[in-house]
Structure 1
Amino acid sequence: MMQTGKVWLAGAGPGSVELLTVKAWKLIKAGDCIVYDRLVGNEILSMIPADTELINVGKSSGHHAIPQTEINQILIREAKLGKKVIRLKGGDPFLFGRGGEEIEALRREGIPFEVVPGVSSCAAVPAYNGIPVTHRDYVSSVHIITGHRRKGRDRQTDYEALVRTKGTLVFLMGVQALEEIMENLMLAGIAGSMPAAILQQGTTADQRRVTATVATLAEEARKRQIGPPSVIIVGEVVKLAEEFAWHEQLPLSGERILVTRPAERGDKLQEYLRALGAEVLTVPVIRTVPADGQKRLKRIRKELKRLREYQVLAFTSPYGVQCFFEMLPDAGMDVRDVSHMRFAVIGEGTANALKDKGIRADYMPGHYDGRSLGRLLAKELKDGTGILLARSSMGGPEILEEISKNQALSYTDLAVYDTVFMENQRERLRLFMKDGSVTKVIFTSSSAVEGFCRLLGEYPYETVQAVCMGGKTEEAAKAAGMRTVAARNASIEELVLQC
């Protein structure tokens, strides 16, 4: 019989992936099924493994909220199928997140569960806007109130009690009732001149702040067309916003950047971008895999057995380095079999991958692209030199065209890995691109441009601002109709500078 699974109620925080707890991130990577609501940020959704089952319970196709009873039944159903179910909720699952109601349903069915607290927007969103919810010189208490009225029930907020606390008041889910909340506070005795703010979509690229007073906030929010999700904060600490604001000062604050590079290349690029304030959506549109197939592998082993006949080993990507050295043991060889060779690389990233193998690159062009590498080898190598080029099966002809200009050199173009398109990312990519909120798209290869266009399909590509690594990549983006800028050299640092 199938063993019952388990449900984890995990807080996803206010939106930024960097505000996920370590435990929540581990669960996201290990879960079989993720049941998420509309307040889970796209940055977080983009990091979920592409083969994980996703169930969106925030909105249905008719744009109506899914009833809580139905959400409960989904959790029960998936757990009874033996799955590890992650109920991913915006903020904290127990702070106006209906986590208690879901646990009651799970307990009735005997479903095991755990609760993973999350960073709540009640403190994080003000913090990202330079507003400390407490400050010894202003206030010593903070009070969190829901601005949402449960259907069929009268609002039961005791505004007079709230005003008597003289503490900071934080209202969640209160955009629709903003005017009513402000009026009730003034009726309860709070001064109309008391500082107040509404903070929209905090910790994301769409973060906006409107500061005013209790008497004027509703009108100012209406003028600025502030909508949910937003946090309303009332108290003297709001005066500190302009002085303490920090996130909006970061150079890439307000940028929503989509990264298309293969996941196996790591997340160093994303880390750089986030450190500069960007919201980063990770959608790898291609992946690199070692060459397979009996005929191809036979040819690779044949060339590896002929290594003594080559004097230069050339790589055009870090993954090419990785694949080549992983293939040596299968041919009964190791790094000693390349000890007589010199090494050529396309750029710093590839040089670093080679360095990890304990080998220093001998040749690297000043401009990091295939044509420049081929031109360098044709110029620098002596007559009779044999070159083994280990790269992707989709490698362009530019490097070979340049090497061929020196007819005294010989070369073998050996495809040690393939580049394949990530068809399972199609829906995710289209979801993120459909509303035009992505400000830039980063491409590190022409094959990434091809994969992006293939998965996205018909689209107004003239609206895409492409940040490209290398001239060949930029040419591919321009051919697709995109607006482009290009990094001078094929390094992450140079790429980030173009953002």
Structure 2
Amino acid sequence: MKDKKIGTVFLVGAGPGDPLLLTLKAKELIEKADFIFYDYLCNPEILDWASNHCIKVYVGKIAGKAAYSQREIEQMLISKAAEGKNVVRLKGGDPLLFGRGGEEAEALKQSGIPFEIVPGVSSALAVPAYAGIPLTHRNYASVLTIVTGHEDPAKKSSAIGWETVAKLKGTKVILMGVERIGAIVSSLIESGMDPKTPLAVISWGTFPYQKVVESTLGDILSGTHSIFTPPAIIVIGEVVRLRKELQWFENKPLYGQRVVVTRTKEACSRLAKRLIELGAEVLEIPTIRIIPQPLDAKQKRILENIDAFYDWLLFTSPTAVDIFFDQFLQLENDIRRLGKVKLGAIGKSTARAIASFYLHVDVIPEKFTSMSLGECFYQRGIEGVRFLLPRSSLADDSLANVLKTQGASVDQWSLYAIEPETEDVRGHRERFKHIGAHWILFASASSVRYWHQLNLQCHDTSLIPKVVSIGPLTTKALKDFQQEVYVESKEHSIDGLIETLLQVVKQNRAGN
């Protein structure tokens, strides 16, 4: 009888918050994991890389309330590995820097469970960098001290000699100490530190809603400061003065702006990524899901010899492009079987989708609307010319009607249905109710319709976001729901929608 296979536990650093700071090895292990046990400070987006079969277990602690005790966590790691599972223990920052990773490694070793340690980018280093504070600098600091401000409450006395810490030169970084900042600063000043020493408190470092408060030891001691809440780190030393010159994160064009995106789940994620790169905090609240519709037997026969039936294919969305060519290539397995059929696209995004199949787009209107696409053919003489319009089940007949008035023969295929999105994987619907947003972006009339079906109401009416619309049809749908539109994009594309948001944010800041 073969010995039962034992799994491995990977003690993995999840980094400080920004998912892009996760190591490649950590990402690979998350993708392969059977179980992930994760902490409070692990960005939930990181868990998106887990497979569908992976079971994710929250074991974090917040405000002194722990989901599980440390011993219970260790026992779960041991138990699942003993079952032969690949286990990832995901810990904020680095697992061995004030992360109790050493204790968990000891428990695994004592139980005979194989383990590996995967270092992570520590918040002690990354968060000051995102705040524009270099921890070392030849003119200011050649020594760095990293201290925890939170110790085991069961200890009879503190192991931290604040008198010794105060006498150390250079920069001091204090983790998990913000709730005791008054007592810590008092100890440092009593031990000889100059009350004028610069200090910075950085909350939610590397997240889009990062906040930095600059002060001095003396001001903190006098109580003339904000109320700080965790998670936050404290940086003490002359290097803090460099932040005025070196801050960069807050200079991003959408920093401080909370934006709701309302497309499909996949499209929300793509748009969110672009907005986050520009500095925005994004609430992903998908309102619609795409349901591809199967082709009937007649449609399949047509695709097998498409240029015998149609002269033009006109696409009004990237989704229609992807679904049409997926169906086409399943039947033909050769894009050249399109023959002499010409292609038209409503706008740049749709044209890019077509180009991804190495195909040339023959017609793109200057204004990205269905009517404008149809009007492109006024000078072409299309009487008797055959058009196929692959589209959604909710698309209107405006494009077909414009073509028909010019004498064209038009067929419309409904390739996909649009249904309301029922899942809220990230919990952003509930978050929106509590914290609202500055902006909400709508990229289609269907997303408007299903957003209003959700009936999400902010608890505070001052948190209701301003509406940015991608174009006329979306604006009309918004007005049908008595929704005020703050601005409509001049270019009716996702690129145009983003550019419009950038412009109005810039204008509003200039006005203030």
Q: TM-score when scaled to structure 1?
A: 0.87
* 1:423 aligned counterpart, secondary structure: coil
With 196-205 and 279-288 compared, the bigger mean Cα shift is at: 279-288
- Superposition pairs of residues 27-426 of structure 1, within 5 angstroms: 27-44=29-46, 52-59=54-61, 64=66, 66-153=68-155, 154-219=157-222, 223-262=225-264, 269-280=271-282, 284-288=286-290, 290-292=292-294, 296-304=295-303, 305=305, 307-332=307-332, 334-377=334-377, 380-404=380-404, 406=405, 408-426=407-425
Query: Whole-Å Cα distance in 1 between the matches of residues 313 and 227 of structure 2?
Result: 60
Gaps of 5+ in 1: none
What's the CA shift for 1:450? 4.7
Partner of residue 17 from structure 2, selected from 15, 18, 26: 15
* 2:424 aligned counterpart, secondary structure: helix
With 251-260 and 238-247 compared, the bigger mean Cα shift is at: 251-260
Letter in 2 for 1:373: L
With 314-323 and 49-58 compared, the bigger mean Cα shift is at: 49-58
Query: Whole-Å Cα distance in 1 between the matches of residues 330 and 140 of structure 2?
Result: 69
Q: Deviations over 1:315-341 (max 9, x none)?
A: 112232233233234444743443322
Query: Whole-Å Cα distance in 2 between the matches of residues 182 and 198 of structure 1?
Result: 12
Query: Whole-Å Cα distance in 1 between the matches of residues 479 and 79 of structure 2?
Result: 48
With 177-186 and 21-30 compared, the bigger mean Cα shift is at: 21-30
With 484-493 and 222-231 compared, the bigger mean Cα shift is at: 484-493
Query: Whole-Å Cα distance in 1 between the matches of residues 289 and 4 of structure 2?
Result: 35
Letter in 1 for 2:218: A
What's the CA shift for 1:235? 0.9
Query: Whole-Å Cα distance in 2 between the matches of residues 177 and 60 of structure 1?
Result: 16
Asked if the contact 2:440–2:467 (Cα under 8 Å) also holds between the matched residues in 1, the reply is yes
Query: Whole-Å Cα distance in 2 between the matches of residues 434 and 80 of structure 1?
Result: 43
What's the CA shift for 1:94? 1.1
Letter in 1 for 2:133: I
Letter in 2 for 1:386: R
Decide whether aligned partners of structure 1 residues 316 and 48 sit closer, same or farther in structure 2, where only a CA change above 3 A counts. farther
Query: Whole-Å Cα distance in 2 between the matches of residues 51 and 120 of structure 1?
Result: 29
Asked if the contact 1:46–1:281 (Cα under 8 Å) also holds between the matched residues in 2, the reply is no
Asked if the contact 2:439–2:467 (Cα under 8 Å) also holds between the matched residues in 1, the reply is yes
Asked if the contact 1:93–1:117 (Cα under 8 Å) also holds between the matched residues in 2, the reply is yes
Q: Deviations over 1:183-222 (max 9, x none)?
A: 11011111111111211111223222221211112555x6
2:510 corresponds to:
none
Residues 1:471 and 2:469 are matched in the alignment: no
* 1:202 aligned counterpart, secondary structure: coil
Asked if the contact 1:197–1:217 (Cα under 8 Å) also holds between the matched residues in 2, the reply is no
Q: TM-score when scaled to structure 2?
A: 0.85
What's the CA shift for 1:348? 0.7
What's the CA shift for 1:14? 1.7
Letter in 2 for 1:412: D
Asked if the contact 2:179–2:228 (Cα under 8 Å) also holds between the matched residues in 1, the reply is no
Decide whether aligned partners of structure 1 residues 205 and 330 sit closer, same or farther in structure 2, where only a CA change above 3 A counts. closer
CA RMSD across the alignment: 3.2
What's the CA shift for 1:448? 3.7
2:508 corresponds to:
none
Query: Whole-Å Cα distance in 1 between the matches of residues 346 and 56 of structure 2?
Result: 39
Gaps of 5+ in 2: 502-512
Query: Whole-Å Cα distance in 2 between the matches of residues 179 and 82 of structure 1?
Result: 48
1:444 corresponds to:
443
Query: Whole-Å Cα distance in 1 between the matches of residues 54 and 62 of structure 2?
Result: 20
> Whose RCO is larger (CA < 8 A, sep 6+)?
1
* 2:174 aligned counterpart, secondary structure: strand
What's the CA shift for 1:140? 0.6
Decide whether aligned partners of structure 1 residues 64 and 10 sit closer, same or farther in structure 2, where only a CA change above 3 A counts. closer
- Superposition pairs of residues 480-499 of structure 1, within 5 angstroms: 484=485, 485-499=487-501
What's the CA shift for 1:414? 1.0
Query: Whole-Å Cα distance in 1 between the matches of residues 478 and 27 of structure 2?
Result: 34
Letter in 2 for 1:428: G
With 296-305 and 162-171 compared, the bigger mean Cα shift is at: 296-305
Report how many residues are paired: 493
Asked if the contact 2:58–2:67 (Cα under 8 Å) also holds between the matched residues in 1, the reply is no
* 2:140 aligned counterpart, secondary structure: coil
Query: Whole-Å Cα distance in 1 between the matches of residues 65 and 337 of structure 2?
Result: 63
